[in-house]
Amino acid sequence: MQTLKPACIAALSRIFKLCDVNKDGILDDNELNDFQRVCFDRPLQQHELAGIKEVVAAAEEEGIVNGGLTEQGFLFLHTYFIQKRSEERRVGKEC
């Protein structure tokens, strides 16, 4: 899997901390939805939240704690989406 550059990690860590409104080190469903609304102008559906958590839990042992996304899970998720987008572009160019 692709790795994030230090500046990207620092930026995403800052975003995580800003989104973690209650400062418990975990983004709960409401905090994740607030992030989604601010960045993409669209809330996540319950099944989308569950899917995100499944992907993170399967790949990152410490990515989901108490039903919420940890900073480690948040970083993994962005790495995952970057990798997925990169693969989609490669496939698109081959077609």
| Tens of pLDDT, residues 27-52 | 999 999 999 999 999 999 999 999 99
Q: pTM for this structure?
A: 0.86
- For tokens 């993170």, the residue is 56
* pLDDT one-digit tens code per residue, 84-93: 876 555 555 5
What does pLDDT average to over the chain?
90
* Cβ–Cβ under 8 Å, residues 27 and 67: no
